[in-house]
Amino acid sequence: MAKSEAPVIIKKYANRRLYNTGTSTYVTLEDLAAMLKSGEDFVVYDAKTGEDITRSVLTQIIFEQEGKQGQNLLPIAFLRQLIRFYGDSMQMLVPRYLESSLDMFSREQSKFRDQMTQTWGVGGFGTVEEQVRRNMEMFQRAFTMFTPFARRTDTGEAEPAAERSDKAEAQPGEIEALRRQLEDMQKRLERLSESEKDKGATS
């Protein structure tokens, strides 16, 4: 059966339980994540007030997924930069930029998967790492474009662009975190590649 285009209505009760009105069953955040991955959309309403609380529930799902070992999608540098935009004059532009960027990435998924397959075919992971590095640089440059003249420092004072450019290369903590994330991705890809080889040997 074809899935309905209308999103499924989920109700959240005072005891924090989530009720899927489409299947008449209680569900968990993990169930909702599985629905999204399968292409099924939903909206969440507070059962008592009728308030749309979809955003907060989606945020909880992301928090839960990020807490799982080896499933981190949001780099530390990205999270820090994102937090800096809260309360910034350019805050209203960030959601639209992120939405359009993810839409573009989703459309290009098949091409990206083909690139990964081709990389496996030649027995190397350099192309994947290079692609990840370029994507990170693209996000960083795009965020910088939002605040080209000054960025708020931790003390709340504006940081001159000249000083910021001098500091841009001196981010050892963030660079180290990104390096560890790339190494983790490579290890996971290697394990998956070995698993595929084992399957091929036993078939």
* Eight-class DSSP state of 52: B
Model confidence pLDDT, tens digit, residues 9-54: 999 998 889 999 999 999 999 999 999 999 899 999 999 999 999 9
Q: Residues 94, 166: one domain?
A: yes
Q: Residues 13, 48: one domain?
A: yes
CA distance 199 to 118: 19
Amino acid present at 113: R
Name the one residue in this structure whose structure tokens are 């399957």. 199
Q: Residues 39, 119: one domain?
A: no
What's the domain range around 47? 8-66
Tell me the whole-structure pTM to 2 decimals: 0.53
CA distance 180 to 76: 11
Q: Which stretch of DSSP H or E encloses residue 26?
A: strand 25-27
Q: Is residue 169 situated within a structural domain?
A: yes
Model confidence pLDDT, tens digit, residues 92-116: 888 888 888 888 877 777 776 777 6
Residue 41 φ/ψ, nearest 5 degrees: -95, 160
Q: Residues 49, 92: one domain?
A: no
Q: Residues 37, 98: one domain?
A: no
The β-bridge partners of 130 are none
User: Domains in the chain: how many in total?
Assistant: 2
